[in-house]
Chains A and B, each alone.
Chain A
């Protein structure tokens, strides 16, 4: 749902919901997810409503995703790294998990 106006300068490969994606060094995980065509990052625990990023700067916590097995990470603050595994959907970390 977001498009790049400039070419990728320094490719970073990661996986988003099982799909291989190429992002640019310096992209936030939020940017990489939005560029891959995903608008809904998670469902709320209360009503199950779809949510995507709102504030984009670490305030609202609507962009929570699972990154490398750790749940509830703010996608807008996390930076893409080579080999990163990102899962949307709002999964919570298992008790005793990483």
Chain B
């Protein structure tokens, strides 16, 4: 039984994936969208259609995703939620996507492929970060969006970046008190970001940022210049110990929410053979893309934050542009791009300032020897350093030395940390150290699901 190939399969229904689907469907392409979530929106607009706080409390940026989500759910694309793309294979004239969903696994042949898997939060390896009750600010925000849930106190937020302040502001608005917000933005942030100040002043980020800051302040105590941070407890977190301006303090906490920016979710594109390079400004691996979003693999496109962090608005515009380029590559006419490109340039304005200002401190990115780097296999930074000193050439050899990256997450979370530790230990640039190699299936599937695929294509 051979299905007719789709024109375009899109992985991810966040801003980039939704906008690409709407545009591609409008241009007459046969489109299938798969997403792991229950509905459209991605992480940023999660539960925007019908969620318990979808009509109030989370702010204009969140609610701003509704129009696109509404257009997406009525567009002529096939939508598969709770579905994970776990393998991509090249085939003559396109790709085959293997996806696992509620009805089992299936193979979707397609002419073109757009990966719009968005971002994940940068790992925040500190002592005690594996204790229950320590989670990312993004996880807490997801619980807010999907279930209108907030932690019971005392709550401590720690880290740097707009999302952390946004969560503090949202909690303040909803009446959830924060014990403290521990700001780890390193000294010198303003100096580093200064060259990008003019474009930041001309961007909407300034007004939005100031409003969020005022609200976040109302939520509780803010401690600046935090240079050391640890979660303490036995079976779960009981306290946070931190050092700010040379003074160490310990405060009781039931919940510690960590955040130090987001990085592209590159796993699927990397496993598909697309070239990725280290970006020193954003401290992350990013795919090499043409202005249309095509990777080094012909017909494989990446749009949105998985191609380099750009935010929801820029992601949606990049998704629409990629959809048009894909339509043209399949011989379909598409409108002139100039208006969209100008809008994309505008939406990207101010980003470099944020990247420079909220660049995480090395101390929180490259942990000390006794801190766990790989959460799955409980491998410390010290063990990875020792492997690098014993001659391990990169993350893939470090796996063999230490098992780092060989647990259930397959290195999704620790890969950046392992690369950073090895780069520091060897003095080599991250590009030479490389990223842990990702092999399909990039998402867990049962052998039964894979066996059931036999003979389907």
Contact between B147 and A24 (Cβ–Cβ < 8 Å)? Answer: yes
A1 on the B face (CB < 8 A) = yes
Contact between A5 and B174 (Cβ–Cβ < 8 Å)? Answer: yes
Contact between A34 and B375 (Cβ–Cβ < 8 Å)? Answer: no
CA distance A30 to B135 in the complex (A): 12
Q: Which residue of A lies closest to B38 (CB)?
A: A79
A69 on the B face (CB < 8 A) = no
Given contacts A2-B152, A9-B52, A47-B378, contact A28 B146 (CB under 8 A): yes
Among the stretches B1-9, B26-34, B136-144, the one at the interface with A is B136-144
CA distance A31 to B151 in the complex (A): 11
A50 on the B face (CB < 8 A) = yes
Among A51, A57, A79, point to the contact of B142 (Cβ < 8 A).
A57
Given contacts A1-B255, A61-B407, contact A76 B52 (CB under 8 A): no
Given contacts A52-B135, A54-B134, contact A31 B408 (CB under 8 A): no
Which residues of chain A have C-beta atoms less than 8 A from B149's C-beta?
2-5, 31, 34-35
B121 on the A face (CB < 8 A) = yes
CB distance from B169 to the nearest CB of A (A): 15
Q: Closest 9 interchain pairs by CB?
A: A56-B139, A52-B132, A61-B408, A6-B148, A39-B132, A31-B147, A2-B149, A61-B409, A40-B132
Contact between A55 and B138 (Cβ–Cβ < 8 Å)? Answer: yes
Q: Mask for A1-40, Cβ within 8 A of B = 1, else 0?
A: 1111110010000000000000010111011001100011
A83 on the B face (CB < 8 A) = no
Contact between A57 and B138 (Cβ–Cβ < 8 Å)? Answer: yes
Given contacts A4-B149, A24-B52, A50-B235, contact A56 B132 (CB under 8 A): no
Given contacts A54-B135, A59-B412, contact A26 B147 (CB under 8 A): yes
CB distance from B43 to the nearest CB of A (A): 6
CA distance A1 to B133 in the complex (A): 8
Chain A contact surface mostly: loop
CB distance from B345 to the nearest CB of A (A): 30
CA distance A10 to B38 in the complex (A): 16
B47 on the A face (CB < 8 A) = yes
B36 on the A face (CB < 8 A) = yes
A91 on the B face (CB < 8 A) = no
B222 on the A face (CB < 8 A) = no
Among B146, B175, B176, B235, point to the contact of A31 (Cβ < 8 A).
B146
CA distance A34 to B413 in the complex (A): 22
CB distance from B185 to the nearest CB of A (A): 22
CB distance from B158 to the nearest CB of A (A): 14
CA distance A47 to B403 in the complex (A): 14
Contact between B142 and A56 (Cβ–Cβ < 8 Å)? Answer: yes
Contact between A57 and B236 (Cβ–Cβ < 8 Å)? Answer: no
Q: Mask for A49-80, Cβ within 8 A of B = 1, else 0?
A: 11111111111111010000000100011010
